[in-house]
Structure 1
Amino acid sequence: KPLHSLGDLESMIIQMAGIQRTLNIRLKKKVLVTFCADHGVVEEGVSQTDSSVTAKVADNFLKGESTASIVCRRTGTEHVVVDVGMLEGSGKAYTEEISERSGIKTENDRCTRFIRRKTACGTRNMRKGPAMTARQAEEALECGICVAKEYSDADIFAVGEMGIGNTTAASAMTSVFLGKEPSEVTGRGAGLDRKKLENKIRVIEDAVRVNSPDPSDAIDVLAKVGGFDIAGMTGLILGAASQGITVVIDGFVSSAAALCAVRICPEAEGYILASHLSKEPASEMILQEIHKNAALHCGMFPGEGAGAVMFLPVLEMAWAVYAGMPCFEDVNIEAYTEYEN
């Protein structure tokens, strides 16, 4: 094939080979972890729906009826759903402690597993004070790390979230980490009109002013203007990196978690792949900050980790090309010469 003809996919395959320390990359065991949590800031009218939707979508995960559930079945990806901070219980018949492994069988004999590891019943309203305590932020981080360790046999993780109001938290964190005005990093989320978007920006401005998070202290930022779902994803990324497992991030909110993880441990950057570029305005800023190119530019924002899972077959095909094609000398063709652009 022409030199570098697979573009960013080639760089990703090389990165994975380095992570796994082998030329025979393994992509058999794929695991999506979706962290679910609620956000107290929803009471400020920053979203189209109320917080009850978080638990309803979590139940849809267990019924196999969500976007993430469907793409997991299609791609042979295990789905792990973690209640790290929902207001309401979900999937009561299926809840379990983190030490047990069980699940509901789906069409292709994969499991959708529900873990209840609730830090608290939602965060507090960050417009009025810290979203959580530093200890709660650490507990939610530890939850993600524990999930990564339990699935240490995974070849690759995809990570996602479900939490009404979490784009507000992600925008607030991004504003602090990147030193940007909230208006520069705040988008419409799941579909706000202009008036509600303006309100969302004001809420974030107030939250940052009231809490004064320290941009040099990622835990402080996470605790004051973050969310339990974002903390859980951050922990999963750190836990995966510590075990040499690649993590594919989803859209804007998981990108904010990736940025937080890199601020805690810069080496984590080398274990992250970006699946797609979200429509949220801060997404590209974050990816530039952590030196990632998104593979897919589809303008999508399904959430849940679905976009990350949709990217996995593309990654598998790129690997198949790398592993299956002969070298130039094997077919008596003179190799291409590398020229500078």
Structure 2
Amino acid sequence: MELLKETLQSILPANDEAIKDAWKRMDSLSKPIGSLGQLEEIAVKISGITGKVKNKINKKVTIVMSADNGVLAEGVSACPQELTAIITDNYTKGITGIGVLSNYTKADVCVVDIGVNANFNNPNIINKKIAYGTKNMAKEAAMSREEAIKAIEVGIEIVDKYVSEGYDLFGTGEAGMGNTATSAAVISVLSGIDSDLIVGKGAGLTEEQFINKKNVIKKAIGLNNPDKSDAIDVLAKVGGFDIAGLCGCFLSAAKNRVPIVIDGVISSAAALCAYKLNPNVKDFMFPSHIPVEPGATCVMNEIGLKANLGLDMRLGEGSGCPIEFLIIESALCVMNDMHTLQEASIHNTEFFVDIREK
């Protein structure tokens, strides 16, 4: 609890002076003002994080939290539970979506067992298991408050460690059968939006299974009656260890003033939890894409963030993060290497009007 408390107290908002200086340089570059759209916004946002106008990414990693969910017993997923362990093991082999995309973008992947219902004999999986999966939230609270805090602190510890090793760009991923159900429950409670509008089909449910999933989530929320003003209570009652762990990752990134990327609906739920614990974390979050799951859009609206890409992705794993890493690095390249109007010998700038939305 002390680590969580200290982390929340250490999170400060973006550096406004650095943002002003960054916009001054960005608007002086040899292009119409605002013409590079979100690339400009990303570069300036990074300046607000670091306090420097020019920035470079040195090392990047996606933290993947893996955990099982007791609610799977209610038929909320078309996939069997043992798939969580298989996928988690495969993450370390570089053969999954997050693996090949990370290899291509020269990013690392950190795989954490925070609650898988299996034991691993794999030195490349970090064992931070809270329990062998959560309890069935349709029958009781998914976990205790103490377990929720412990899971959050696992995420904080992991990112703290990687920051100490020189990593300065993070992504968030997961594995866990049934975790689109827990994510929908968490997002519904924290946003105040009816869960029926949040729930997606996940990994290919039939219409009958989809209706059952909606009913199970609604039942779980009603049974546990989580306090929407207390994100930890929500996580404990209807969340998952993976969501809680990723929540800690967002908090640590903000504390350490490094950018962190949101992937799909599960990491979106975690981002919303972190935001509810300390709204300043918004200044450090970068959504990668708009997932097919409707809950992710609700989270972006609730926090006030805008994703860069469509792509219709719904894999999870953190697979959107390596793609966003490239976009972030491209934005920094613009800020660092593009010549100013003066340097480019462009003196007549009357036609370079500000095309940004006011």
Q: TM-score range by the shorter chain?
A: over 0.9
Does structure 1 conserve the Cα–Cα contact (< 8 Å) formed by 2:117 and 2:133?
Answer: yes
Please give the TM-score of this superposition, normalised by the length of structure 1: 0.92
The aligned counterpart of 1:144 is 155
Take 1:210 and 1:43, find their aligned partners in 2: how far apart are those partners?
17
Match of 2:353 among 318, 327, 337: 337
- The answer to whether 1:201 aligns with 2:214 is yes
For residues 192-249 of structure 1, the C-alpha deviation after alignment (integer angstroms, 9 at most, x for no partner) is 1211110000000100000000000000000000000000000011011111111011
| Other structure's SS at 1:330 match | coil
- The answer to whether 1:37 aligns with 2:67 is yes
User: Number of aligned pairs?
Assistant: 322
| Other structure's SS at 2:32 match | coil
Take 2:233 and 2:355, find their aligned partners in 1: how far apart are those partners?
47
Measure how far apart 1:338 and its partner are.
2.5
The aligned counterpart of 2:267 is 254
The runs of 5 or more residues in structure 2 that have no matched partner are 1-30
The aligned counterpart of 2:231 is 218
The aligned counterpart of 2:328 is 315
Take 1:248 and 1:203, find their aligned partners in 2: how far apart are those partners?
30
- The answer to whether 1:161 aligns with 2:167 is no
| Other structure's SS at 2:79 match | coil
Higher RCO, 1 or 2 (CA under 8 Å, sep at least 6)?
2
* Percent pairwise identity: 39
| Other structure's SS at 1:63 match | coil
The runs of 5 or more residues in structure 1 that have no matched partner are 95-112
Measure how far apart 1:288 and its partner are.
1.2
For residues 297-339 of structure 1, the C-alpha deviation after alignment (integer angstroms, 9 at most, x for no partner) is 1111121101111221122122212221111122232332336
The aligned counterpart of 1:237 is 250
1:297-312 alignment runs, 5 A limit: 297-312=310-325
- The answer to whether 1:172 aligns with 2:146 is no
For residues 258-293 of structure 1, the C-alpha deviation after alignment (integer angstroms, 9 at most, x for no partner) is 000000111111110101000111211110111110
Equivalent AA in structure 2 for residue 56 of structure 1: I
Take 1:115 and 1:212, find their aligned partners in 2: how far apart are those partners?
33
Equivalent AA in structure 1 for residue 353 of structure 2: T
Take 2:87 and 2:339, find their aligned partners in 1: how far apart are those partners?
46
The aligned counterpart of 2:26 is none
Equivalent AA in structure 2 for residue 142 of structure 1: E
| Other structure's SS at 1:273 match | strand
- The answer to whether 1:279 aligns with 2:295 is no
Measure how far apart 1:74 and its partner are.
0.7
- The answer to whether 1:89 aligns with 2:105 is no
Take 1:250 and 1:165, find their aligned partners in 2: how far apart are those partners?
17
Does structure 2 conserve the Cα–Cα contact (< 8 Å) formed by 1:83 and 1:115?
Answer: yes
Measure how far apart 1:66 and its partner are.
1.0
Does structure 2 conserve the Cα–Cα contact (< 8 Å) formed by 1:33 and 1:81?
Answer: yes
Does structure 2 conserve the Cα–Cα contact (< 8 Å) formed by 1:301 and 1:307?
Answer: no
